[in-house]
Structure formats: structure tokens, C-alpha cells
Amino acid sequence: MKSSNIKYVPALDHLRGFAALLVMAFHCVGMMGFKEHYARTPDAAGTLSTNSVWLSWFFEGHTAVALFMVLSGFLFTFGCMGREIHSGKFLWNRFVRTYPLYLLLVFTGISAHSSGFSFDAFLQTICGLANTKGAVSAGNFTMLSWAVAVEWQFYVLFPFLLILLNRFGTKPLRGIIWVAIILRLLVFFEGGDIHAVAYGSIIGRIDQFLIGMLLAVWYKRNAESKAPWELVMLGTLVAISATLYGYHKLGGIRSGHIHQVFWPTFEGLLWALFIRSYIDSARQLPKFLDQLFSKFGELSYSMYLTHSIVISIFVRHEFFVHFGFDVLTDTLLNLACFILPLTTAISILTYNFIEKPFLALRVKYHVGNEPSPDNWDHRLAEVVKRDNEVSTAKRSLETDPNELLA
């Protein structure tokens, strides 16, 4: 997505498109595949599972949400590190980017499922708290509103996190990650719903946003690295596959196991490494693939918010073509032949006539003029220097406690 505030990196659009497709496959398997396997609509009484490492991508495809979160933290920091931003203008840009389509689906859902409507729930949903109990529940029109809410909670925090990064380096961000892990540990041992906290709240997802921010700093410092990024990317994909398989065998996102405390952080780190390796590897793609992947990235927000509606209609009306393979293969073929083309067509319309007109209302939110490369390098050097000074002082105090009395 091109912006006047952030340098356009096509590889990031590729990854947004990939994340949207992965979420779509996950919901297709979980909704349509479930219906075919159990002959009933999806519920908590039955689950689908696999013994294949590679197929675990489809059964635990919710991991694409983590990819979205890390990308958000990376992208904003990539464009804003070392600079001051106008918080109000930043939030305005996020509003016109995310809310037109979001509100359209909320109002449509309320109209279609009006029996449970309440004004309090409506206010909660449009004020960035759709991920908490009591928000509007309007079928698949609001099924993914929780993720938009978590994103918005990060948007509100980002200007403050950027100030911390610019003034004190990466240490505060790393510290907040540890605080979030400790809070999740407290939730687990206190007997709270660790799934709800780790998966659907800012306490669970803040790690991934912050890891994205730290990735942007690392990338700026090492942008010219000559590492074999193609091999790193392949190795990271293998590691993600093995990790998702292990996570699947531990019970997945609803297990309530203590691994849920640490999963958001570990998941975010894996995706950060993949993003870094893909940015360089994507430069080798043929032009037509670059353009195709970028187009899916452009449509990713519309695809993310609308695909579950399409899938639910297919499930409700029992439209499922049997190709003669096993349930999973037939489900994925239905996805490729019917769900994906229809969702893409709808997303082209919603992007061009709902999202795109509002994108023209975005404004520049950086304070002052665009810094020269020299100024950027200077600000980056200041951040690196602060990190080094903190580390040096810490080592000095550890070796000579008398320094405290100086």
C-alpha cells in the first residue's frame, strides 16, 4: 500500500496478501472442512487435526494474524523512526484507512442480525473495543472485528512507543515485551482465560507489534547485509512449519496450556525473521509475480474482512463440490475454484469503491520536512549510541558496584 509517509516496499504488500490468503485457507478448513467431516456446523465439540507437518499451515493458519501484527509494527517504525509525528494526523490516516469498510460491514451486520442489537454494544464496537465481551455480534460480518480493535489499540499506543524508541533506544520496547509475558503468566496462574488474553487482546499481541518495531531498527542498521537471505527464508519456513505442527499437537489456540503465555512472542520472532529474509529474497521475483502478489496485498484488507462471509454462505447452503479426494484436499480445491475467486471479485469492488476514495484523504503526519539521508543516519546513530551506552554502563556496574557511589 503506497503512502506519502512511508517508503513503498513491494515485498511488504506481498506478505500482506499471503497473510490474507492463509487466514482464508484456515477459515475454509475450519468451517467448510468441518461441515463436510462432521456433517454439522462448526462448534467446540469436534476438531479437525492432521499428522502432516506441512498441512499444519492450514489447521493453524491463524498465525497469519501474527504476521499482520509484526508487519504493522515494522512498517510504521520503518517510516517514522528518528522522526517526530503528529499523533492526531497519524490516527486520522489510520481511521480513513481502516474504518470505512469496517463500519460498512458493522452496519450491514447490525441490519441483518438486529435482534441482539444494543447501543452500548455498538459504541463499544466502533470505539476500538470490539475484542472485548459485549461488543456487537453480527454473524460473519463482525467475525474479525476483534483484530481491527487490537490493531487500533496499537495505533493509539504507537506515537508514545515511537517517542520511547527515539529518545531511549530499543531497551524500553524490549522491557515492555517482558512485562507482557509476565502479565500473561499472572493470568495463567490466576486462572484467567489465557486463550482470550494471548490470542485476542493487546496484552497478547503487543509482543508482535513491538517485535515488528525492533525489526525495523535492526533492518535499518543492517540493510546492506549480504547474508544468504534466500536460504534464511527457506530455513525460516521449515522452522515455522515445525513450530506450527508442534503447536497443533499441543492443542492449538484453544488448549489453555501454559505455552500460550510464550506463543505470541515466539510466533512474532519467527515471522520477523521471515519478513527480513523475504524483503531481500523478493527482489529476485519476476515482474509479473511481483505485480500479482502486490495486487493481493492491495486487496488484503478487503479480503480479510469479507472472506468469512463468503465461506459461511457456502457452508450454510451446503455448496461443496466433491472432487473425489479426501476432505481436506476437496476443501482446498473448493477454496481455489470458488471461494478465492468470489472473495477476490468482491474485494476488488470494496477496495475501489469503499477503501480507495478515502485513501485520498490521508495527510502527512511527520513533523517538519523529510530528513536527508545524512540526518536519518545521524538520528539512527544516536539511537544505536544510546543502546551501547546503556549496555556499557550496565556492565560497568556489574563489575564495580562502587560506581553507584561515585
Task: List pLDDT tens digits, range 364-373.
Answer: 999 975 554 4
E strands in 35-97: none
Whether this model's pTM surpasses 0.95: no
Neighbour tally for 3: CB within 10 Å: 15
364 secondary structure, DSSP code: -
Residue recorded with cell 492463509: 22
Query: Whose CA is closest to 215, among 159, 277, 298, 282?
Result: 277
Q: Look up residue 19 and give its amino acid.
A: A
Q: Going by C-beta distance under 8 Å and a sequence separation of 6 or more, which residues neighbour residue 126?
A: 103, 106
**Confidence (pLDDT) at 299:** 97
Query: Whose CA is closest to 77, among 212, 207, 276, 208?
Result: 212
**Cell numbers representing residue 104 in the block:** 460498512
Task: List pLDDT tens digits, range 276-300.
Answer: 999 999 988 999 999 999 999 999 9
CA atoms within 13 A on the CB side of 372: 2
| Average per-residue pLDDT for the chain | 88
**Cell numbers representing residue 13 in the block:** 504488500
Q: How far apart are CA 306 and CA 101, in angstroms?
A: 10
Is the pLDDT reported for residue 391 higher than 80? no
Q: 3-state DSSP: the chain helix, strand, coil percent, rounded to 5?
A: 75, 0, 25
Whole-number percent of the chain with pLDDT over 90: 74
Mean pLDDT within 149-153? 97
* DSSP string computed for 230-275: HHHHHHHHHHHHHHHHHHHHTTGGGS--THHHHHHHHHHHHHHHHH
Mean pLDDT within 334-351? 97
**Cell numbers representing residue 241 in the block:** 512449519
**Cell numbers representing residue 403 in the block:** 560506581
